[in-house]
Structure 1
Amino acid sequence: MGIATLAGIGLIAVRGDEQAVGHPAVAAAYGSGTAAIADEFALLLDLRDVYWAKQGRLSVDVSVGFLSALGTYLTAKPFWHEVSRITRHHLASTTRPSRTTAK
């Protein structure tokens, strides 16, 4: 189900017009498809249903951990880019020699 959802959303992203690509329903469907894939991660690796077994729990933990780490990175990336830009600007302005002329 998740793979089919992501394939359909991929088709919209590649062939859709600008209005369709940016529509909130497309984002919601993409998130739902990704969640369905993460939920059934063990089936993708083992090709057998171990959802209620110990291996199924491990696959859910790994996929949730991976998605959480990815979400944290993508959320924090603009913040750290802005911090580095401000720091570079601040360092560049404080290390410039003064323009006072001696008389």
Structure 2
Amino acid sequence: MVLAFLTTFLATRFVTHAIRSGRGPFRDASVGGVHVHHEVYGIFLLLGSGTAEFAYRPGGGWGSLLAVLFGAGAALTLDEFALWLHLEDVYWSREGRSSVDAVLIALVIGVLLLIGANPFDADRSAGEGVVALTLLVNLCAALVAILKGRVVLGVVGVFVPLVAVLAALRLARPTSPWARRRYPAGSRRAARSRQRFPPGRRNRWDALVDLFASVPHGTRPRTATPTEPDPEHTR
């Protein structure tokens, strides 16, 4: 599932870049003049593979096939996360970067599950009560980290408790919900947050997102016709 997810995401970004740049044989899919986004295919793959898994519980090769289909469907759907978040086509806009964020975070979760990270594993603990208390504290720390604008560390922290605690104790980003509610304007913490995260500051995660979210250069939007989708909807 994880391998299919990663492969489908990379292939999808390659095809959408080629379409946007006008290179290769790739073209936008449309039915009756209506542009069909690739998340539509992803949703059907998720519904079909999920239903088949719950209904038949196949093993062996069939189970692996359903895992591949589910991973591919998840990648196609999350690659347009920004579209169903904003309810408009923002694939190549600044808001569209949230799609890449969603895909990469899902990939991090998949890899953590793949290597055996399981926050609900009670077999290696002293008992269910200890697990429940540890899980509650860890989830609270992860939630605080996410509210502070440290989403990746918060998600990883769900599986690795120490990461969640450290992220929750760190300074919040000035644009985060935590900072807006708990860092009053003119306060020392607000000043420290703005100094720590100045406008335009970039980190390694931003550089990684840029690899997939950057708009192809040297392209010119096509002129829309009554039978074509609007160029702003071209992926």
- TM-score per shorter chain, which class? 0.5 to 0.7
Deviation, structure 1 residue 41: 0.3
* Larger RCO of the pair (alpha carbons < 8 Å, separation 6+): 2
* Aligned partner of residue 23 in structure 1, secondary structure: helix
Residue identity matched to 1:67: A
Answer whether contact 2:46 2:70 (CA < 8 A) is retained. yes
Deviation, structure 1 residue 22: 4.7
* Aligned partner of residue 117 in structure 2, secondary structure: helix
1:45-60 equivalent positions in 2, closer than 5 A: 45-57=85-97, 59-60=98-99
Unaligned runs of 5+ in 2: 1-40, 127-235
Deviation, structure 1 residue 54: 1.0
Task: Tell me which residue corresponds to 1:92.
Answer: none
Instruction: Tell me the matched-pair count.
Output: 82
Task: Tell me which residue corresponds to 2:76.
Answer: 36
Q: Cα distance 1:73–1:19, how it changes in 2: closer, same or farther (>3 A)?
A: closer
Q: Cα distance 1:62–1:17, how it changes in 2: closer, same or farther (>3 A)?
A: closer
Deviation, structure 1 residue 13: 1.1
Task: Tell me which residue corresponds to 1:64.
Answer: 103
Answer whether contact 1:13 1:21 (CA < 8 A) is retained. no
Kindly provide the CA deviation profile for residues 8-37 of structure 1, in whole angstroms up to 9, marking residues without a partner as x: 111101212534885322111001000011
TM-score by length of 2: 0.30
Answer whether contact 1:3 1:33 (CA < 8 A) is retained. yes
Residue identity matched to 2:108: A
Structure-1 separation of matches of 2:54 and 2:61 = 9
Deviation, structure 1 residue 50: 0.5
Answer whether contact 2:53 2:63 (CA < 8 A) is retained. no
1:1-103 equivalent positions in 2, closer than 5 A: 1-19=41-59, 22-57=62-97, 59-74=98-113, 75-77=115-117, 85=124
Residue identity matched to 2:58: E
Structure-2 separation of matches of 1:45 and 1:21 = 35
Tell me the percent identity: 33
Kindly provide the CA deviation profile for residues 50-92 of structure 1, in whole angstroms up to 9, marking residues without a partner as x: 10111112x12321331133123212417xx7xx95xx9xxxx
Structure-2 separation of matches of 1:62 and 1:14 = 29
TM-score by length of 1: 0.63
CA RMSD between the two structures: 2.7
Greater share of residues in helix: 1
Answer whether contact 2:42 2:73 (CA < 8 A) is retained. yes
